[in-house]
């Protein structure tokens, strides 16, 4: 086998993998912002969830992309674990379409179709308005060109007459169960190494169609590919939250279970799938196209029957993975700094990463309201020693708030370095504005705490009227924060900032009235000037906080309109 042929083989596999990646990336950019709504609308029950997984995977031509997206959605809290399991089941069926496309590519020279597609793709790319569609067509063209080149390379390699390769495969006892396990393991390792079950499937089809590899060990390779492809999603979920790791484990469980029952009836099952496409698995010579169709039929039958068996046991699978993976201690602590939704391993799909960041911003917003609740509690505290502990707690949370802002901003900068749709770029800009304003709310809570520290260390106290006025202002500010956090929900279909505007205006008017009255009270010696400054600092801080809330709400409304 010449070096040129080896490079042609590797190069055609690279074309195939690049084409699939380009198709996947283009479709995610094209439909990324709507994917959440599609998945949410179509996963109302386990059957529609399976159908959704099939459709998405058939579109992006990558079960890995669908699975990683699904894990990302679970990580962001956009899908429940049960919904994710059904989508992953469907993804396993959807990915079998790739095998059928490949088998079609091995039956005739499909590369003749790619040149008009290349021409159309470059025209659309230069039109700019349709550049994403052009990128998709380009990816499809590379995929077809890779398949056509693979076909021709397989013929040139003449593997069926290569004594070294034939001798290697003949060294394995075709009737041995150990041989089946060896090729199963080999398929899993190869898929994990190249991170593409499609590439390993293409190699398997070349070997089988050339007569170098019998159909039985070839089918074992295909089963191994099903195991190997689950490793990607499990690696992606390592640094994710508990639910995401459970979804990835459910994917592994699904495929391992399927491999186990197929191994029990291995040869009868392969004979059954071969009969479906008219192939005799024991014949010494076979049509290359027929053998590739037999592998595709095996791949499809394996995943369809496995889904049919397990679809009724999704609740049980959910309980098993929940039992195996316990929540992290940090996820049960509301004071822990660690980000929950945008942790490092889920960056394979930038459009989905934008949604994860949006979810994290929502959590950030909730934490600032929790800080303000502590401020309200602190204001009513009568024990100075307890008050000091609460002030230290607020200071710690404010420090964490600063760190959260920087971490989310860093993540958003990283996401913006990827090729995003214009819509997602605008969302990133809006979220950067949001986290800046939310951090200002945290600063405002810290200012409250500092003022109250001065107040508790002084000998003077607020009058009953001042106490009531501060409580009323804080109550209005808290209502504003509640409205803001209500808007942060990604699932909300209708958003309005009218209530927040109304509260902000009410707070402004109330502040003006209280400032004027404060001057009069000081002139009348109702209380000292020193206590009046602390009093007005608290009143004005409520007004500033309401301004920050309005800014956050305006940015959130802009995201909603995109």
Domain containing 463 — which CATH number? 1.20.58.220
Please tell me the predicted confidence (pLDDT) of residue 478: 95
Same domain, 296 and 359: no
155 is a domain residue: yes
Asked if residue 495 has pLDDT above 90, the reply is no
Look up residue 337 and give its DSSP letter: -
Asked if residue 240 has pLDDT above 70, the reply is no
pLDDT tens digits along 97-152: 877 877 776 666 666 677 888 888 888 888 877 788 888 888 878 877 877 777 67
For 242, the 3-state DSSP assignment is: helix
Return all residues near 146 (Cβ < 8 A) that are at least 6 apart. 12, 13, 14, 15, 16, 17, 18, 19
pLDDT over 70 for what percent of the chain? 81
CB 507 within 8 A of CB 550: no
Q: What average pLDDT does range 198-222 have in this prediction?
A: 80
- Of 82, 70, 139, the C-alpha closest to 356 is 70
Same domain, 179 and 119: yes
* Interatomic CA distance for residues 226 and 251, integer angstroms: 10
Same domain, 319 and 450: no
For residue 316, give Cα distances in angstroms to 215, 234, 321, 452, 524.
35, 20, 9, 53, 73
pLDDT tens digits along 289-325: 677 788 888 988 998 999 999 998 988 998 999 888 8
Return all residues near 516 (Cβ < 8 A) that are at least 6 apart. none
The domain total for the chain is 2
Same domain, 150 and 38: yes
457 burial type by CB count under 10 A (0-12 exposed, 13-18 middle, 19+ buried): exposed
* Interatomic CA distance for residues 435 and 235, integer angstroms: 29
Helical axes 197-209 vs 96-107, angle rounded to 10°: 40
CB 191 within 8 A of CB 224: yes
332 is a domain residue: no
Same domain, 356 and 267: no
260 is a domain residue: yes
Same domain, 434 and 526: yes
Same domain, 293 and 401: no
* Interatomic CA distance for residues 180 and 169, integer angstroms: 12
Please tell me the predicted confidence (pLDDT) of residue 334: 47
Mean pLDDT, the chain, as a whole number?
81
100 is a domain residue: yes
Range of the domain at 456: 350-561
Same domain, 92 and 195: yes
Same domain, 461 and 506: yes
Question: Of 507 and 209, which is predicted with more confidence?
Answer: 507
279 is a domain residue: yes
- Of 463, 485, 462, 466, the C-alpha closest to 474 is 466
267 is a domain residue: yes
Same domain, 448 and 507: yes
12 burial type by CB count under 10 A (0-12 exposed, 13-18 middle, 19+ buried): buried
Same domain, 452 and 519: yes
Q: Which of 324, 341, 366 is the last residue of a domain?
A: 324
Please tell me the predicted confidence (pLDDT) of residue 165: 67
* Interatomic CA distance for residues 55 and 62, integer angstroms: 11
Show the 3-state SS of 504-527: HHHHHHHHHHHHHHHHHHHHCCCC
340 is a domain residue: no
Asked if residue 346 has pLDDT above 50, the reply is no
370 is a domain residue: yes
């Amino acid at each position: 086998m010449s070096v040129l042929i080896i490079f042609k083989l590797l190069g055609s596999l690279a074309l195939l993998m690049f084409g699939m990646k380009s198709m996947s990336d283009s479709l995610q950019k094209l439909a990324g912002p709507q994917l959440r709504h599609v998945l949410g609308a179509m996963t109302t029950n386990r059957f529609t969830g399976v159908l959704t997984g099939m459709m998405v995977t058939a579109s992006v031509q990558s079960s890995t992309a669908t699975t990683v997206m699904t894990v990302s959605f679970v990580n962001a809290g956009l899908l429940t674990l049960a919904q994710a399991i059904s989508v992953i089941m469907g993804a396993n069926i959807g990915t079998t379409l790739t095998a059928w496309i490949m088998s079609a590519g091995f039956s005739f020279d499909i590369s003749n179709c790619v040149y008009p597609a290349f021409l159309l793709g470059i025209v659309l790319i230069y039109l700019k308005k349709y550049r994403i569609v052009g990128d998709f067509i380009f990816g499809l063209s590379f995929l077809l060109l890779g398949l056509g080149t693979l076909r021709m390379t397989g013929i040139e390699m003449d593997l069926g007459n290569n004594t070294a390769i034939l001798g290697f495969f003949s060294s394995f006892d075709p009737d041995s169960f150990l041989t089946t396990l060896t090729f199963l393991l080999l398929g899993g390792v190869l898929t994990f190494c190249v991170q593409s079950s499609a590439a390993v499937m293409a190699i398997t089809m070349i070997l089988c169609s050339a007569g170098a590899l019998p159909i039985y060990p070839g089918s074992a390779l295909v089963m191994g590919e099903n195991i190997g492809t689950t490793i990607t999603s499990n690696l992606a979920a390592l640094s994710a939250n508990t639910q995401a790791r459970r979804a990835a484990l459910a994917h592994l469980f699904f495929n391992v279970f399927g491999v186990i029952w197929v191994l029990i009836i291995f040869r009868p099952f392969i004979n059954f799938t071969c009969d479906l496409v008219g192939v005799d698995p024991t014949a010494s010579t076979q049509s290359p196209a027929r053998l590739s169709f037999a592998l595709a039929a095996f791949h499809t039958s394996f995943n369809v029957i496995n889904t049919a068996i397990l679809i009724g046991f999704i609740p049980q699978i959910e309980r098993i993975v929940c039992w195996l993976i316990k929540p992290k201690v940090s996820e049960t602590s509301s004071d822990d700094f660690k980000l929950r939704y945008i942790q490092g391993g889920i960056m394979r799909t930038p459009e989905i990463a934008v949604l994860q960041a949006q979810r994290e911003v929502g959590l950030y917003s909730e934490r600032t309201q929790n800080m303000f609740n502590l401020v309200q509690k602190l204001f009513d505290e009568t024990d100075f020693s307890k008050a000091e502990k609460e002030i230290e707690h607020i200071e710690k949370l404010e420090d964490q708030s600063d760190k959260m802002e920087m971490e989310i901003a860093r993540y958003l900068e990283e996401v913006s370095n990827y090729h995003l749709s214009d819509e997602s770029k605008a969302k990133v800009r809006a979220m950067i504005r949001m986290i800046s304003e939310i951090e200002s709310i945290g600063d405002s809570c810290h200012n409250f705490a500092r003022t109250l520290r001065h107040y508790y260390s002084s000998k003077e106290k607020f009058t009953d009227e001042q106490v009531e006025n501060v409580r009323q202002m804080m109550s209005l500010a808290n209502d504003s924060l509640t409205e803001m956090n209500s808007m942060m929900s990604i699932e909300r279909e209708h958003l309005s900032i009218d209530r927040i505007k109304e509260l902000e205006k009410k707070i402004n008017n109330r502040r003006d009235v209280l400032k004027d009255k404060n001057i009069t009270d000081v002139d009348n010696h109702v209380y000292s000037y020193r206590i009046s400054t602390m009093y007005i600092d608290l009143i004005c801080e409520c007004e500033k906080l309401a301004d920050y809330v309005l800014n956050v709400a305006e940015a959130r409304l802009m995201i909603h309109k995109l």
